[in-house]
Amino acid sequence: MPGDSPTGEIPMVDDTPAVELHSVTKRFGDVVAVDAIDLAIADGEFFAMLGPSGCGKTTTLRMIAGLEFPTEGSLRIYGDEVGTLPPNKRPVNTVFQSYALFPHMTVLENVAFGLKMQKVDKSEARRRAGELIELVQLGGLDGRKPDQLSGGQQQRVALARALVNRPKVLLLDEPLGALDLKLRQEMQGELKTLQRELGVSFVFVTHDQEEALTMSDRIAVMHEGRLLQVGSAEELYARPTTRFVADFIGQTNLLDATVADPKTAVLANGARTAVENTLPSGTKVGLSVRPESIRLGEVGDAPVDAAVALPGIITEATYLGHSMVYAVSVDWMRLEVRSPDVAPDQRHTPGSAVDVWWERGVDHLVPIDDSVADSSVYDELDAIDASGLAQAIDT
Amino acid sequence: MTVVESPPENAGVPPPDDHEPTGVAEATPEFEQANERAKRRRGFLLALPAYAYLVIFFAVPLVIVAVYSFATRNRFRQAELRDFNLDSYRALGDDLVRAIVQRSLVLAIITTLICLVVAYPFAYFIATRPKAMRNALLVLVMIPFWTNFLVRNYAWYVILGTDGIFSRITEFIGIGETRLLFTQAAVVIGLVYGFLPFMILPLYAAIERIDSRLLEASRDLYASGFQSFRHVLLPLSMPGVVAGTILVFVPSLGAYVTPEILGGATTTLLGSHIVNQFFGASNVPLGAALSTVLMIVMLFATVVYFRRSGRTL
């Protein structure tokens, strides 16, 4: 089913995408690691592949690097088919997870390795390696061995070692995973700056949705070998097209709903909400509402023009410093509500009765894609062009 | 088995001396020092049986051999521990001894090189298999040890003989019978066969420890398959290469059984020559001197080899 993969729109800089995958499939024995992926990564783009472990994102990256070959499909880098070319014949370089620095070489030898293999003139190689070492702020550490460096420094060596070859595409496999939080945030900023300065396409694999959201121009969400959705952080967050994406990108409340007509969906308790859609009436869907989109007030506070208003009871209240997170039990389910913190005497306490509501336009329909019983519905939804669905929900 | 398994552990750079709590002693309270002493004492007690065994059955006989190398022979050609002299050492300069040493060295070097070239790809192959298969292959490597060394050498005697399979095949395809038995080639074949596992195992241990992502990284950084081997795999597996070559070279140089059975009388090697001094020629001091020199040279060479490879690692 190559036609139904949501490739999204590519912000074109150059006509030729940096990396282009056409129904690329990778099987290991009986296991389908990557399932017919279509993807185009633009020149100069910071592109993230996001998903839980085992979703196929690393395998996809390794196929671009040439460390795995696709079982089926075509893989192009700047228009050239590279499907079965070995890694040393591709204009890409990789920053490996946990860096894979050569332990028997110094920082300088590590960084100059790629140039040496390409038989670049020795003094030229030295100069370029030195430049890169300066660029990643490791000046003066040329003679150290990797085990004499901190995690953050090793990370920089790995980066310099890849970038010194002036790759057309830089692949990064969870490059920040081994760093502690503070260093990670620092490196996120640096990577972003570096990418902008060099103008090289970065393809970045991560399981950390926050990392993907903060750094990338576009994000591809993968799950169980399939590409679920590609789009900017805003698109994925505001208009997830699948239940998985809605859940994975930030947190969300997913309410069971049924399509009534092209403008309305009905919740389990009979409440109606205006969401435009192109689905046949009776289709079971999920209604996604972000925790911070839900308002909370005393009983009777809900405005008349709210999209949906429900009575509920606070079951938990958690103080997070800048905000409060409430668990609210409504009739048939539990909702998570996040609201800015207020004075302690105005906070809601567990056990108190409240009204929850949200405004028009903040809720979105997502297909129920993880239910076997509803697989026919899923196929139907699947057949609808993803961007069409997104537009339908948007209005 | 311990003989096979342990050298790779020591083969690399000798571990830094961080066992001694230098500098810590002043900083820690007395009971911790006492604890440290107790720990060392316990370690010593545990090692005591092995120490005792090695001293009694290894060090003492070596000293006896060394002492006998300075002994004199009486007119019945028996060694007597008096009038200590250097006659036996002077006799080492003989043309005969020199020829034997040279021949032994050449054969040992050839054997070691063949073992290295054959074992390396195989060790790499094992190390890159899935875990279950790795263990199965290692068991296969060790299966020959389950049969007596002498028996295995006689097996080669049969195989290489004029009625053996090689000869039969060459006869069958019409190039006549092959005379392999009682040649130096036969000795090399036997030695390679006998010592190959001692090369494979340390190489395997060294290669298995190497992070496969390093090889991927090198390929990603434009190394061809050969460059990747030359610049990453080989240097990182040097501890295994060093251990393996020593484990093969040393016993090859002093080999006795294999040359005796497969080499026949025409290719006397060092091992046989030493044995002949002790029993046949009844020149115990000369045999002892040969053994002592061989051992010292070997020890010295090993230390130098370790040091040198240790530095380049």
**Residues A247-289: pLDDT tens digits?**
888 888 888 888 888 888 888 888 888 888 878 888 888 888 8
The residue that leads in pLDDT, B246 or B163, is B246
**Residues A16-45: pLDDT tens digits?**
899 999 999 999 999 999 999 999 999 999
ipTM surpassing 0.85, yes or no? no
Confidence of residue B207 (pLDDT cuts 50, 70, 90): very high
Contact check, Cβ <8 Å, A102/B227: no
The residue that leads in pLDDT, B100 or B179, is B100
Question: Which residues in chain B are contacts of A65 at CB distance < 8 A?
Answer: 220
Confidence of residue A4 (pLDDT cuts 50, 70, 90): very low
Average pLDDT value for residue range B16-40: 65
Range with lowest mean pLDDT among A161-165, B155-159, B175-179, B196-200: B175-179
**Residues B173-206: pLDDT tens digits?**
888 777 888 888 999 999 999 999 999 999 999 9
The rounded distance, in Å, linking the Cα atoms of A366 and A360 is 16
Question: Which residues in chain B are contacts of A114 at CB distance < 8 A?
Answer: 221-222
CA nearest to A64, candidates A29, A32, A40? A40
Average pLDDT value for residue range B42-62: 92
Closest residue in A to B312 (Cα) is A104
Most confident of A175-189, B152-166, B183-197: B183-197
Mean pLDDT of chain A: 86
The residue that leads in pLDDT, A307 or B125, is B125
The 3 state secondary structure assigned to A228-296 is: EEEECHHHHHHCCCCHHHHHHCCCCEEEEEEEEECCEEEECCCCEEECCCCCCCCCEEEEEECHHHCEE
Average pLDDT value for residue range A123-148: 94
B212 touches chain A (CB under 8 A): no
Model confidence, pTM:
0.77
Mean pLDDT of chain B: 86
> Token match 């499907």: residue?
A83
Give the A window 41-70 contacts with B, CB below 8 Å.
65-67
Q: Exposure string (b/e) for B51-82, b if CB count within 10 Å is 16 or more?
A: eeeeeeeeeeeeeebeebbbbebeeeeebeee
Question: Which residues in chain B are contacts of A93 at CB distance < 8 A?
Answer: 220-221
**Nearest-neighbour CA in chain A from B213: distance (Å):** 6
> Long-range contact list for B243-246, CB < 8 A, 24+ apart?
B243/B7, B243/B8, B243/B10, B243/B11, B243/B202, B243/B206, B244/B115, B244/B116, B244/B119, B244/B198, B244/B199, B244/B200, B244/B201, B244/B202, B244/B203, B245/B112, B245/B116, B245/B199, B245/B305, B246/B7, B246/B11, B246/B302, B246/B305
